[in-house]
Amino acid sequence: MLDGVQFRAVDLRSNVDWGVQADGVWCSFTAAYFVDLSPALTSWTRDLKPGGWIALTEVDDLFGHQPLAPRTTARLTAYYDDALATGRYDFRAGRKLKQHLEKAGFRVAQSMTLADRELSFNGPAGPGVVEAWRARFERMHLLRQFLEDDFDQVRGEFLDCLTREDHRSTAKVYSAIGNRNP
Ligand SMILES: C[S@@+](CC[C@H](N)C(=O)[O-])C[C@H]1O[C@@H](n2cnc3c(N)ncnc32)[C@H](O)[C@@H]1O
């Protein structure tokens, strides 16, 4: 229990009324669900105090891990394209955080990439990280549907890739902080 803290469950696609004037908005790993992010940012920050801030963190190129067979990379890239075309998720959202903040009228004070031991790292993953990825594949029902008979092969190859000495990530975690001019 945290003193003075209230939690509310809201649909972030709706016109959110937080009922308070906020010092800042913290949004981690949720921006990519909004393929047209700038209007959503405007809606989430309507009640920001003058001079308030927003901090966004999002992964970019989630399945960007190598070495994978070119066909496997192509199947995963096709899934990125399908998710974007159907408005479900932007797998390339991380690199766009800064431009979305600017479009929504924020001055970008900081924009950076962050090391992440599960999402963006080089060299072999430990067992905990591989298990986290295995669980992620289990949750990704739409990926299973999209890949059809290729799903097991893609998952197996991807999990093997994570444990290789020569494993490299092109996936990146981006973070950007914007300020609303007072
Ligand atoms: C990858 S999880 C990140 C969870 C957490 N913020 C974190 O950093 O670990 C994505 C979150 O976005 C939430 N989300 C996606 N679309 C949403 C929406 N329309 N309204 C509210 N939450 C949403 C999901 O419920 C989920 O909790």
**Residue-level pLDDT at 1:** 73
Q: What is the CATH number of the domain that holds 130?
A: 3.40.50
* Cis peptide, bond prior to residue 67, ω within 30 of zero: yes
Measure 167 CA to ligand 1 centroid, in angstroms: 29
User: Is the CB of 29 inside a 6 Å radius of any atom of ligand 1?
Assistant: yes
Measure 44 CA to ligand 1 centroid, in angstroms: 14
Residue 40 tokens read as 């959503």
Q: Which of 155, 6, 142 is nearest to 85 (CA)?
A: 142
**Residue-level pLDDT at 122:** 97
Walking along the chain (182 residues) 10 residues at a time, the average pLDDT comes out as 86 89 95 97 94 97 98 98 98 98 96 97 98 98 98 98 98 97 70
Instruction: Assess if residue 67 is contained within a domain.
Output: yes
Instruction: Assess if residue 14 is contained within a domain.
Output: no
User: Is the CB of 30 inside a 6 Å radius of any atom of ligand 1?
Assistant: yes
**Residue-level pLDDT at 10:** 92
**Residue-level pLDDT at 182:** 67
Rounded distance, CA 65 to CA 161, Å?
Answer: 7
Domain span holding position 52: 22-179
Measure 91 CA to ligand 1 centroid, in angstroms: 14
Instruction: Assess if residue 152 is contained within a domain.
Output: yes
Rounded distance, CA 46 to CA 18, Å?
Answer: 9
User: Is the CB of 33 inside a 6 Å radius of any atom of ligand 1?
Assistant: yes
Instruction: Assess if residue 51 is contained within a domain.
Output: yes
**Residue-level pLDDT at 6:** 84
Instruction: Assess if residue 13 is contained within a domain.
Output: no
Instruction: Give the Å distances, CA to CA, from 43 to 13, 16, 62.
Output: 9, 7, 26
User: Is the CB of 26 inside a 6 Å radius of any atom of ligand 1?
Assistant: no
User: Is the CB of 146 inside a 6 Å radius of any atom of ligand 1?
Assistant: no
Q: 68 near 158, Cβ under 8 Å?
A: yes
Give the N- to C-terminal CA distance of the chain in Å, as an integer. 33
Based on DSSP, count helices (H) and strands (E) in the chain, helices before strands. 6, 6
Domains identified in the chain, total number: 1
- Ligand 1 pocket test, candidate residues 7, 11, 30, 43, most atoms within 8 A of CB: 30
**Residue-level pLDDT at 144:** 98
The model's pTM: 0.95
What residues contact 116, with CB distance under 8 A and at least 6 apart?
Answer: 59, 173
Q: Per-residue DSSP letters for 34-51?
A: -SSHHHHHHHHTTTEEEE
